[in-house]
C-alpha cells in the first residue's frame, strides 16, 4: 500500500516537473523587442517568387525598424487553423497572421486578435490608404476591426473575345439571363465547345454562385441582425436551382463539368472548349497568358442582375464578388504591437503593394497602388472595377457553417446533376439541414 502510494506520488511529481518545464518554455519572454514573427500562406502558384519577396520584405523591415522579421509558413487551411488554435490556447505563437478574408469573421469570433484603435489605424497610414471595399471584411463594424487588408482577389468572368466576335456578340453580359442567351449562341456541343465552363465539384466556387444569386435577388443567407439563418428561404432555394439550371435546363456547360474543380474549368477555357468562365480572379492570368487563348481573352465583372429578372428587385444587391483577399491581424497575446503596426505600415505602402501584387498575381488593397496597377495592366481594369462593387460576406463566426452547408448541398446533388436533373425537394431538404447547423452556430454566438 505504501509502495503503491509512493509510486503514484512519484509519477505525479515527474509529470508536474515535466509540465512545469513545458509551461516555462512557453511562457518565457518572447521576442525581446527585436523580432516579429509572421505567419503567411505558401503560395503554391509562385513559390520561388514568394520566397524572394519574403527576403526583400525582411531586408526592408530591418532597414525601417531595426528589427528582425521571421516568416513562418503554412501550406493548407487546416495547417493554418491548427496553428491559430494552438497559439490562441497556449498564448504563444506568431505575432502577426495573414488570414483569408472569409476566415476573418471566425478569427474575430475567437477573440484571439487585437481590435485596432483609431491610433493604430493612423500608425498604419489611415483607412483612407485602402480601397474602401477591401475593409469590408476587417471587422463587424468600423469600431471593431482586426484585419488590415493586404491584397484583394475580386471575382469576375473571363470571356473569349474571338468567339464573341464570331458569334456577333459585342459586349459581355450584364444580366444572368443575357449570360444564358449569349452562352446558347456560343454553344457548339457537337464540336465539344460550350458557352461556359463551370466547376460544380469545386469546394469553393459553387457557394459563391449561390451567395451571388441570392443577394442579387434580394435574399440573404443570414439575417442582417445575425440572429436568423436563411438558408431555407425560397430565395436561396431558387438560387441553387438557377445555378443547376445552367447545366440541366440551359445545357450551356459541358456535362463533364459536374465533376470539375476550378482548375479543370480553367483548363477547358484556355483550351478553347468554353467561351466564358465565371468566378475567376487575377490569379488566372499566368495560365491565360501561357495558353492558346493569349490575346483573345478579356475580363469582365460578373452580371449583376439575377437569373429570371430584367432588373434587380427591391432589396437586391449589386453583388458580383465577395470581398476576397488577405487580411493581416495581430495576435492578442503579442507583445510586439508597435513592430506589428510598423510591419503593416510597410506592407500596405504603395511601393510594397505594387511589388506584392506583381509578385503574387493579386490586386493591391492600397487604393493608389490599385489605381496604378489598373493603369499599367488595362486587362485587369474590369476586375479592379469589380472590387469597387464587392459585397462582404456576412461577418459572423457561423460563416464556416454557411460555406460548408452550401457546398454540401451541391456535393450531394452531383449524382443527380450527372443524370441531367435535380430534385428540388431534395435540395430543399439539404438546405434545411444546413440551415439548422448555421442557426445552431448563430445561437451559440449569441449566448
Which chain residues interact with another protein by CB under 8 A? 3, 7, 10-11, 14-15, 18-19, 78, 81-82, 85, 88-89, 106, 109-112, 201, 203, 256, 258-259, 332, 397, 400-401, 404, 407-408, 411-412, 414-415, 418, 437, 441, 444-445, 447
Give least dist CB 75 to another protein, A: 11
Residues linked to residue 280 through DSSP beta bridges, in sequence order = 156
Please, are residues 146 and 117 in contact by the beta-carbon 8 Å criterion? no
Q: Which of 106, 127, 103, 170 is nearest to 323 (CA)?
A: 103
Give least dist CB 235 to another protein, A: 22
Give least dist CB 406 to another protein, A: 10
Identity of the residue, 321 or 396, whose beta carbon is nearer to another protein in the bound complex = 396
Report, in angstroms and rounded to the nearest whole number, the Rg of the chain calculated over CA atoms.
24
**Helix-helix angle 47-65:337-347, to 10 degrees:** 120
Give least dist CB 143 to another protein, A: 20
What backbone torsions phi and psi does residue 235 show, to the nearest 5 degrees? -65, -40
**Spatial separation of the C-alpha atoms in residues 222 and 445, rounded to whole Å:** 13
Contacts of 181 (CB under 8 A, 6+ apart): 173
**Spatial separation of the C-alpha atoms in residues 365 and 154, rounded to whole Å:** 11
Give least dist CB 445 to another protein, A: 6
Give least dist CB 88 to another protein, A: 5
Identity of the residue, 49 or 228, whose beta carbon is nearer to another protein in the bound complex = 228
Please, are residues 344 and 429 in contact by the beta-carbon 8 Å criterion? no
Identity of the residue, 126 or 259, whose beta carbon is nearer to another protein in the bound complex = 259
Q: Which DSSP helix (H) or strand (E) runs through 176?
A: helix 176-186
Identity of the residue, 113 or 299, whose beta carbon is nearer to another protein in the bound complex = 113
**Beta-strand relationship, 274-280 and 148-152:** unpaired
Give least dist CB 65 to another protein, A: 29
Identity of the residue, 45 or 82, whose beta carbon is nearer to another protein in the bound complex = 82
Identity of the residue, 310 or 447, whose beta carbon is nearer to another protein in the bound complex = 447
Identity of the residue, 65 or 445, whose beta carbon is nearer to another protein in the bound complex = 445
Identity of the residue, 120 or 254, whose beta carbon is nearer to another protein in the bound complex = 254
Please, are residues 323 and 133 in contact by the beta-carbon 8 Å criterion? yes
Q: In what order do the strands lie in the sheet with 156-160?
A: 194-196, 274-280, 156-160, 297-300
Give least dist CB 285 to another protein, A: 25
Four-CA torsion 424, 429, 431, 432, nearest 10 degrees? 140
Give least dist CB 15 to another protein, A: 5
- Residue 280 has which C-alpha cell? 475567376
- Residue 194 has which C-alpha cell? 460550350
Identity of the residue, 43 or 202, whose beta carbon is nearer to another protein in the bound complex = 202
- SS3 assignment, position 97: strand
Q: Around 343, how many Cα atoms within 13 Å sit in the side-chain half-sphere?
A: 30
Please, are residues 401 and 415 in contact by the beta-carbon 8 Å criterion? no
Give least dist CB 197 to another protein, A: 15
Identity of the residue, 81 or 228, whose beta carbon is nearer to another protein in the bound complex = 81
Amino acid at each position: 500500500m505504501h509502495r503503491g502510494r509512493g509510486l503514484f506520488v512519484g509519477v505525479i511529481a515527474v509529470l508536474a516537473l515535466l509540465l512545469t518545464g513545458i509551461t516555462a518554455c512557453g511562457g518565457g519572454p518572447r521576442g525581446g523587442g527585436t523580432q516579429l514573427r509572421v505567419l503567411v500562406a505558401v503560395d503554391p502558384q509562385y513559390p520561388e517568387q514568394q520566397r524572394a519577396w519574403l527576403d526583400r520584405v525582411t531586408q526592408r523591415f530591418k532597414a525601417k525598424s531595426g528589427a528582425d522579421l521571421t516568416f513562418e509558413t503554412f501550406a493548407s487551411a487546416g495547417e493554418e487553423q491548427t496553428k491559430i488554435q494552438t497559439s490562441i490556447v497556449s498564448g504563444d505563437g506568431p505575432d502577426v497572421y495573414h488570414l483569408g478574408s472569409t476566415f476573418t469573421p471566425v478569427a474575430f469570433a475567437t477573440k484571439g486578435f487585437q481590435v485596432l484603435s483609431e491610433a493604430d489605424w493612423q500608425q498604419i497610414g489611415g483607412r483612407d490608404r485602402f480601397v474602401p471595399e477591401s475593409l469590408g471584411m476587417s471587422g463587424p463594424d468600423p469600431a471593431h476591426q482586426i484585419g488590415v487588408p493586404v491584397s484583394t482577389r475580386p471575382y469576375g468572368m473571363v470571356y473569349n473575345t474571338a468567339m464573341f466576335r464570331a458569334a456577333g456578340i459585342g459586349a459581355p453580359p450584364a444580366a444572368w439571363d443575357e449570360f444564358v442567351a449569349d452562352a446558347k449562341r456560343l454553344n457548339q456541343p457537337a464540336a465539344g465547345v460550350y458557352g461556359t465552363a463551370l466547376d460544380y465539384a469545386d469546394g469553393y466556387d459553387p457557394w459563391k454562385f449561390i451567395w451571388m444569386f441570392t443577394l442579387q435577388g434580394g435574399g440573404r443567407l443570414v439575417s442582417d441582425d445575425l440572429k436568423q439563418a436563411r438558408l431555407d428561404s425560397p430565395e436561396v432555394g431558387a438560387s441553387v436551382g438557377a445555378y443547376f439550371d445552367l447545366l440541366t435546363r440551359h445545357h450551356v456547360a459541358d456535362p463533364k463539368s459536374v465533376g470539375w474543380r476550378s482548375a479543370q474549368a480553367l483548363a477547358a477555357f484556355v483550351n478553347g472548349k468554353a467561351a466564358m468562365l465565371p468566378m475567376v480572379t487575377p490569379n488566372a492570368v499566368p495560365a491565360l497568358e501561357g495558353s492558346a487563348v493569349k490575346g483573345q481573352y478579356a475580363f469582365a465583372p460578373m452580371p449583376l442582375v439575377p437569373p429570371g429578372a430584367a432588373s434587380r428587385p427591391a432589396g437586391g444587391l449589386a453583388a458580383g464578388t465577395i470581398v476576397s483577399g488577405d487580411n493581416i491581424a495581430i495576435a492578442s497575446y503579442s507583445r510586439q504591437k508597435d513592430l506589428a503596426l510598423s510591419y503593416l505600415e510597410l506592407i500596405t505602402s504603395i511601393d510594397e503593394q505594387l511589388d506584392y501584387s506583381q509578385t503574387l498575381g493579386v490586386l493591391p488593397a492600397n487604393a493608389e497602388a490599385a489605381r496604378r496597377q489598373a493603369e499599367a495592366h488595362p486587362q485587369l481594369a474590369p476586375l479592379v472595377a469589380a472590387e469597387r462593387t464587392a459585397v462582404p460576406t456576412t461577418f459572423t463566426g457561423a460563416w464556416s457553417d454557411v460555406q460548408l452547408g452550401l457546398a454540401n448541398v451541391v456535393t450531394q446533388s452531383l449524382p443527380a446533376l450527372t443524370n441531367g436533373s435535380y430534385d428540388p425537394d431534395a435540395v430543399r431538404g439539404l438546405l434545411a439541414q444546413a440551415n439548422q447547423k448555421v442557426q445552431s452556430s448563430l445561437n451559440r454566438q449569441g449566448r
